[in-house]
């Protein structure tokens, strides 16, 4: 290394230290709003339109993986700085952040309560605290439940393939398990379902109270519904009818591509993932019908505004606009994310939506019906901490490491560490 | 050189080692040159496909890769140069200068290396937000301007290569400490300094845990932050991600090629003293 | 005269000051802060919920998940570091022979280290796939049943440590190589005249001469190996799904991963800080043990 190099290095060093390289927040007099998102909210076009109609506002999206999004948000809330003006909170963690609601703006202060009637009651309630006095977030999409199946694999196993007839096969999850037995008897080399964990989650999502009672007390141990959901899923695992796959992981994608499982529980947003994973080769082979046990909800998010935002009012206006029914309808048509506003379901265009890839299934009708009949489960503050413990337990069963009973016992014990 | 000459067997073995080293990189390149569906195949594909240009274009469309490269370059080169300069000075002092408390201070340096890095994330973040450094490159540069690795490594290098006699001679001639360092110390450890520079450059270039938390992905991304934005969707497009990852490796390889001359040149110089 | 004495006395302190300043602000402060946090019931977002003294520590000693993580950490450390350093030593010895195009070979062995760990993890996850991975395919060719690499403790440890080895062997080999280059060549010449074998020369000349570097790598890879995080995290498909337990039964959950789970997933910052401090102590202990052990072995050589 020669002298000149060292000299210029020192110069760079000083420059960097003195100058500071970050962006300033007020560029050319415009109000800058940042939007902290994960995954695909489908906001790109909407945001451009909003900026065109609001000349004084500049919006930027920050998209990262959901897991990173949550870690970053927690750190930013703890550090008191750096969070986006609007942050997305997924259903699984919204209850966790609800416990720290004083770090967020109470949207009721800006009149959010007037909008209440837009959403399904349960969706509205998930995003509020203090008996509805504190409005933490405005609902975006929801994940009403369907069941996706491979019609070619069903045909090979001698099962019906038409979606109405398939739906008739499994009014309840017990019936679903019977179909699994028939399927496995005929085609033992193909797994019936990707993972028992999703079946478990779907069953649990159809009960009014799961791990927690509505007063937020922990009841999993004495709630028969949790046990029976666990047993149903564990039985599938014990009989080797599941692929023991981590949902939406790379292995799951490979299995989709290889066609090595025949059914999967699918909320509206999962159709795009199945299509992407299975690829063009499987077009028309996948189909979707109603799930056993009626509707349920898996996923969906909220838009919230951290207190550290410098422009809460403008942020609220934007969040309100993005979650309004008209915009939600457009997002459904473009991305397939199902709105959480019932009014949208009646819309003729929504009702008429079909999904080409899924054998032209009338997804608008299927998911809207499922959404309307939905009685969602109460999610306790610690729901997102408890859930993974039981998920791991089922994975142990599917991996053949433990019996269902042992896995259940261990899970109950482990969960104590989290709920106390 | 009287060292044993290398035979064909040795070359054969090294080719095998090299193949193992390169294969995952090559494999990333393969995936980057195809579409995502390639990952579903039973055997890993070995021949590149025709989508490389398309995937690379998509990388540049999706994130501001130039800005990310530029930022990473500023971060990594500043960190590397500062570690080399400050590390060599401190290492020289610990190895070849006499001062009170030298050995116990060095033990402290060693001890600091044991502090787990992930441990400090929260307090460090709070510190950064007090300094108003969130989203600025200082936030990822300043904490690593000089690390114990650099001090430790350069002390080692000075112990091995800088003869005491030369220093004494320079001091007798009336050279100041810094002049002695510059004329006697630094020339002797240039190869090790180059190694250090390269390693710290790489480490800074590849760091992602802290940058992901403290940088703003739009205003101040480094390459690793940009790469993680490429994989933000619920469904991960590996072709896109690995196209980005392959691009991100190129500058580091270029730095290596640049510095490897320095390393080889330095070694020749060092050998004279033997 | 006065100036010169001042120079000799104070300049050394002056030039080591930057290190201590940077460390004090960005290393020591977080460390002490973490110690403070570990004495409290501290929620990540909501902060201090009251002083609890050593309660977190006593909870930790009775926490089977902590001991499990400690075992995994040590097991992964031994599995990845010992073979890695031996292989690096061998590789460096080979690279030290007069090779044609030496820069090319050096660049080649360093290549694994320049690729981002996320890309590496993805590629290895692919190799170790249960149903479609190439490793299981190759095992199948010699008649071995497919292994579920993420389900079994030993298998997951092998897989994760292979990833670590692959990334760091070349790096350490280059450190050794740099040291070997400065071994005076006349030492080899006289040994050759005495008829010493190549093997003997390696152990009695090369290794003792580069002893300081070996000590150096032992200490640095102890530190790195015990703080393993990215590799096991990315090897676990559950990590991205909000479940950072390192396998269905915590088979490959390391201490840092456990700390991450407690702090960032469960928001129990006080307990996470406690895990972090225990990790610090473990690293310190193991590094001291390894240091004295290696010093003894290398000086016998």
SS (H, E, C) chain A: CCHHHHHHHHHHHHHHHHHCCCCCCCCCCCEEEEEEEECCCCCHHHHHHHHHHCCCEEEEEEEECHHHHHHHHHHHHHHCCCCCCEEEEEHHHHHHHHCCHHHECCHHHHCHHHHHHHCCHHHHHHCEECCCCEECEEECEECEEEEEEEHHHHHHCCCCCCHHHHHHHCCCHHHHHHHHHHHHHHCCCCEEECCHHHHHHHHHHCCCECCECCCCCECHHHCHHHHHHHHHHHHHHHCCCECCCCCCCHHHHHHHHHCCEEEEEEECCHHHHHHHHHCHHHCCCEEEEECCCCCCECCCEEEECECCCCCHHHHHHHHHHHCCHHHHHHHHHHHCCEECCHHHHCCHHHHCCCECCCCCECHHHHHHHHHHCCCCCECCCCHHHHHHHHHHHHHHHHCCCCCHHHHHHHHHHHHHHHHC
Cβ atoms of A359 and A369 closer than 8 Å = no
The answer to whether residues A169 and A112 belong to one domain is: no
The answer to whether residues A131 and A267 belong to one domain is: no
Domain harbouring A307, CATH code:
3.40.190.10
Report DSSP letters for B65-92, one per residue: HHHHHHHHHHHHHHHHHHHHHHHHHHHH
How far apart CA C149 and CA C129 sit, in angstroms, is 7
The answer to whether residues A321 and A234 belong to one domain is: no
What CA dihedral angle connects A64, A70, A75 and A77, to 10 degrees?
A: 110
Residue B53 inside a domain? The answer is: no
Residue A10 inside a domain? The answer is: no
pLDDT band at A3 (very low <50, low <70, confident <90, very high): very low
pLDDT at A28: 65
Residue C180 has pLDDT above 90, yes or no: no
How far apart CA B169 and CA B171 sit, in angstroms, is 5
Residue C210 DSSP label:
T
Q: Is B72 touching A (CB cutoff 8 A)?
A: no
Instruction: Look up residue A232 and give its two tokens.
Output: 């149903």
Residue in chain C nearest B178 by alpha carbon: C11
A 56-95 residues with CB < 8 A to B: 60-66, 68, 71-72, 75-76, 78-82
pLDDT at A238: 96
Higher pLDDT among residues B264 and C226, named by residue: C226
pLDDT band at A16 (very low <50, low <70, confident <90, very high): very low
Collect all residues of chain C within an 8 Å Cβ-Cβ radius of residue A247: 241
Domain harbouring B188, CATH code:
1.10.3720.10
The answer to whether residues A345 and A367 belong to one domain is: no
Q: Is A87 touching C (CB cutoff 8 A)?
A: no
* B70: nearest Cα among A293, A21, A91, C124: A21
Q: Whole domain around residue B264: which residue ranges? A: 63-272
Cβ atoms of C232 and C211 closer than 8 Å = no
Q: In what order do the strands lie in the sheet with A301-304?
A: A57-64, A31-38, A86-90, A301-304, A137-139
Residue B34 inside a domain? The answer is: no
Collect all residues of chain A within an 8 Å Cβ-Cβ radius of residue B41: 257
pLDDT band at A21 (very low <50, low <70, confident <90, very high): very low
A 226-265 residues with CB < 8 A to B: 248, 250, 253-254, 256-258
pLDDT at C298: 64
Residue A6 has pLDDT above 50, yes or no: no
Mean pLDDT value across residues C25-44 = 91
Tell how strand A261-267 and strand A145-150 pair up: antiparallel
* Sign of the CA dihedral with B211 first, then B212, B216, and B217 last: positive
The answer to whether residues A91 and A209 belong to one domain is: no
Cβ-defined contact of A68 to B228 (cutoff 8 Å):
yes
Collect all residues of chain C within an 8 Å Cβ-Cβ radius of residue A396: 248-249
Q: Give the residue carrying structure tokens 């265009």.
A: A349
Mean pLDDT value across residues A91-109 = 91
The answer to whether residues A214 and A82 belong to one domain is: no
Cβ-defined contact of A17 to B234 (cutoff 8 Å):
no
* A137: nearest Cα among A157, A116, A161: A116
* A377: nearest Cα among A128, A206, A138: A206
The answer to whether residues A47 and A125 belong to one domain is: yes
Collect all residues of chain A within an 8 Å Cβ-Cβ radius of residue B216: 22-23, 62, 82
C-interface mutation test, from B7, B115, B174, B180, most C Cβ less than 10 A away: B115
pLDDT at C35: 93
Cβ atoms of C225 and C80 closer than 8 Å = yes
Q: Which of A16-30, A91-105, C146-160 has the lowest mean pLDDT?
A: A16-30
How far apart CA B4 and CA C98 sit, in angstroms, is 7
Distance from CA of C196 to the nearest CA of A (A): 39
pLDDT at B249: 87
Residue C2 has pLDDT above 70, yes or no: no
pLDDT at A17: 43
pLDDT band at A250 (very low <50, low <70, confident <90, very high): confident
Q: Give the residue carrying structure tokens 């020289």.
A: B92
Residue A1 inside a domain? The answer is: no
Residue A23 has pLDDT above 70, yes or no: no
What is the full per-residue pLDDT of chain B (274 aa) written as tens digits?
Answer: 344 566 888 889 999 999 988 888 888 888 888 877 777 676 667 788 888 899 999 899 888 899 999 999 999 999 999 999 999 999 999 998 888 999 899 988 888 887 777 767 878 888 888 888 888 999 999 999 999 889 988 998 888 778 888 888 887 888 888 888 888 888 888 878 888 898 899 889 988 888 988 888 888 899 988 888 887 777 778 888 889 988 888 888 887 777 776 665 444 444 433 3
Cβ atoms of C226 and C286 closer than 8 Å = yes
pLDDT at A355: 92
* A16: nearest Cα among C147, B137, B125, B13: B137
Distance from CA of C131 to the nearest CA of A (A): 8
Residue B39 inside a domain? The answer is: no
Residue B145 inside a domain? The answer is: yes
The answer to whether residues A86 and A186 belong to one domain is: no
Mean pLDDT value across residues C223-228 = 90
Residue B28 inside a domain? The answer is: no
Residue A79 inside a domain? The answer is: yes
Residue B42 inside a domain? The answer is: no
Q: Which of A390-404, B222-236, C196-210, C249-263 has the lowest mean pLDDT?
A: B222-236
Q: What is the mean pLDDT of chain A?
A: 89
pLDDT band at A43 (very low <50, low <70, confident <90, very high): very high
Residue C80 has pLDDT above 90, yes or no: yes
Please tell me the total count of domains within chain B.
1
The answer to whether residues A227 and A367 belong to one domain is: yes
The answer to whether residues A111 and A152 belong to one domain is: no
Residue A4 has pLDDT above 50, yes or no: no
Please tell me the total count of domains within chain A.
2
Residue B36 inside a domain? The answer is: no
pLDDT at B44: 67
Distance from CA of A395 to the nearest CA of C (A): 6
Q: What is the mean pLDDT of chain C?
A: 88
Q: Is C249 touching A (CB cutoff 8 A)?
A: yes
Residue A22 inside a domain? The answer is: no
The answer to whether residues A37 and A170 belong to one domain is: no
Cβ-defined contact of C131 to A255 (cutoff 8 Å):
yes
Q: Whole domain around residue A51: which residue ranges? A: 31-142+299-351
Spacing of C-alpha C264 from chain mean position = 22
Cβ-defined contact of C238 to A392 (cutoff 8 Å):
yes
Residue A17 inside a domain? The answer is: no
The answer to whether residues A174 and A237 belong to one domain is: yes
* B119: nearest Cα among C281, C266, C46, C250: C281
Cβ-defined contact of C185 to B263 (cutoff 8 Å):
no
Residue B32 inside a domain? The answer is: no
Instruction: Convert the pLDDT of each residue in C244-284 to its tens digit.
Output: 789 999 999 999 999 989 988 888 999 999 999 999 999 98
Mean pLDDT value across residues A408-420 = 92
């Amino acid at each position: 290394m020669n002298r000149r190099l060292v000299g210029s290095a020192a110069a760079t060093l000083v420059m960097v230290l003195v100058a500071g390289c970050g962006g300033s927040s007020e560029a050319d007099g415009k109000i800058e709003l940042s939007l902290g998102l994960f995954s695909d909210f489908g906001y790109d076009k909407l945001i451009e339109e909003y900026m065109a109609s609001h000349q004084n506002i500049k919006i930027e999206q920050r998209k990262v993986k959901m897991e990173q999004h949550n870690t970053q948000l927690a750190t930013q809330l703890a550090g008191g700085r750096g969070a986006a003006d609007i942050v997305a909170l997924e259903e699984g963690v919204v209850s966790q952040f609800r416990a720290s609601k004083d770090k967020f703006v109470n949207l009721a202060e800006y009149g959010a309560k007037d909008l209440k009637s837009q959403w399904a009651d349960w969706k509205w309630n998930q995003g509020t605290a203090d008996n509805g006095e504190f409005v933490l977030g405005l609902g975006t999409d929801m994940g009403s439940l369907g069941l996706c199946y491979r019609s070619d694999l069903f045909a090979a196993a001698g099962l019906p393939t038409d979606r109405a007839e398939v739906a008739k096969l499994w009014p309840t999850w017990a019936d679903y398990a019977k179909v699994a037995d028939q399927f496995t008897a005929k085609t033992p080399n193909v797994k019936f379902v990707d993972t028992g964990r999703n079946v478990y989650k779907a069953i649990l999502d159809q009960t009014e109270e799961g791990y927690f009672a509505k007063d937020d007390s922990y009841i999993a141990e004495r709630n028969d519904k949790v046990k029976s959901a666990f047993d149903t899923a564990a039985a599938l695992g014990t009989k080797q009818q599941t692929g023991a796959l981590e949902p939406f992981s790379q292995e799951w994608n490979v299995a989709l591509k290889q066609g090595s499982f025949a059914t999967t529980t699918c909320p509206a947003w999962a159709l795009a993932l199945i299509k992407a994973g299975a690829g063009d080769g499987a077009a028309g082979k996948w189909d979707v019908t109603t799930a056993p046990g009626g509707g349920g909800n898996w996923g969906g998010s909220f838009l919230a505004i951290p207190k550290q935002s410098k422009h809460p009012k403008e942020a609220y206006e934007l969040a309100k606009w993005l979650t309004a029914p008209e915009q939600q309808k457009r997002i459904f048509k473009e991305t397939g994310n199902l709105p959480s506003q019932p009014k949208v379901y009646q819309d003729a265009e929504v009702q008429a939506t079909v999904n080409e890839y899924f054998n032209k299934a009338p997804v608008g009708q299927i998911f809207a019906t499922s959404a309307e009949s939905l009685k969602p489960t109460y999610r306790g503050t610690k729901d997102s901490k408890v859930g993974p413990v039981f998920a791991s337990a089922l994975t142990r069963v599917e991996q053949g490491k433990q019996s269902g009973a042992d896995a259940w016992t261990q899970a109950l014990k482990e969960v104590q560490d989290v709920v106390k | 050189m009287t060292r044993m000459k290398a035979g064909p067997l040795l070359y054969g073995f090294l080719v095998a080692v090299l193949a193992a080293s390169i294969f995952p990189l090559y494999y990333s390149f393969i995936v980057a040159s195809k579409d995502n569906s390639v990952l579903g195949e039973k055997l890993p594909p070995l021949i590149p496909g025709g989508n490389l240009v398309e995937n690379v274009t998509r990388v540049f469309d999706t994130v501001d890769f130039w800005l990310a490269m530029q930022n990473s370059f500023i971060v990594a080169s500043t960190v590397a140069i500062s570690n080399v300069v400050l590390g060599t000075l401190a290492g020289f002092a610990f190895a070849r200068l006499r001062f009170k408390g030298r050995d116990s201070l060095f033990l402290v340096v060693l001890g600091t290396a044991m502090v787990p890095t992930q441990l400090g994330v929260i307090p460090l973040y709070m510190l950064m937000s007090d300094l108003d450094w969130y989203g600025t490159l200082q936030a990822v540069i300043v904490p690593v301007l000089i690390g114990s690795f650099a001090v430790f490594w350069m002390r080692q290098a000075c112990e091995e290569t800088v003869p005491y006699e030369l220093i004494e001679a320079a001091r007798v001639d009336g050279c100041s400490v810094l002049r002695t360092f510059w004329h006697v110390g630094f020339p002797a450890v240039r190869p090790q300094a180059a190694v250090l520079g390269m390693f710290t450059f790489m480490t800074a270039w590849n760091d992602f845990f802290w940058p992901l938390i403290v940088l703003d992905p739009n205003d101040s991304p480094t390459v690793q932050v940009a790469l993680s934005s490429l994989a933000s969707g619920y469904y991960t497009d590996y072709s896109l991600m690995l196209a980005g990852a392959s691009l991100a490796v190129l500058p580091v390889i270029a730095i290596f090629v640049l510095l490897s001359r320095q390393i080889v040149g330095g070694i020749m110089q060092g050998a004279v003293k033997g | 005269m006065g100036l010169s004495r001042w120079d000799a006395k104070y300049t050394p302190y002056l030039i080591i000051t930057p290190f201590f300043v940077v460390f004090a602000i960005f290393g020591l402060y977080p460390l002490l802060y973490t110690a403070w946090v570990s004495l409290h019931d501290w929620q990540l977002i909501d902060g201090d919920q009251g002083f609890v003294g050593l309660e977190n520590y006593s909870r930790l000693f009775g926490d089977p998940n902590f001991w499990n993580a400690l075992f995994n950490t040590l097991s992964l450390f031994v599995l990845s570091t010992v073979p890695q350093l031996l292989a690096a030593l061998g590789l460096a010895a080979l690279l030290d022979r007069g090779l044609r195009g030496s820069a090319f070979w050096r660049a080649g062995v360093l290549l694994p280290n320049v690729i981002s760990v996320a890309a590496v993890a993805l590629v290895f996850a692919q190799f170790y796939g249960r149903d479609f991975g190439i490793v299981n395919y190759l095992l199948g060719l010699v008649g071995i049943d497919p292994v579920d690499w993420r389900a079994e403790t030993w298998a997951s440890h092998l897989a994760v440590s292979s990833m670590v080895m692959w990334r760091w062997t070349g790096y350490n080999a280059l450190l050794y190589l740099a040291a070997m280059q400065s071994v005076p060549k006349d030492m080899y010449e006289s040994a050759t005249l005495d008829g010493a074998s190549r093997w003997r020369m390696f152990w009695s000349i090369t290794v003792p001469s580069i002893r300081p570097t070996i000590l150096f790598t032992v200490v640095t890879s102890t530190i790195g190996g015990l703080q393993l995080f990215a590799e096991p995290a990315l090897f676990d498909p559950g990590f991205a799904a909000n479940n950072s337990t390192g396998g269905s039964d915590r088979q490959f959950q390391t201490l840092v991963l456990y700390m991450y789970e407690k702090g960032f997933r469960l928001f129990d910052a006080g307990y996470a800080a406690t895990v972090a401090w225990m990790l610090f102590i473990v690293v310190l202990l193991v590094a001291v043990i390894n240091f004295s052990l290696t010093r003894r072995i290398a000086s016998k050589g």
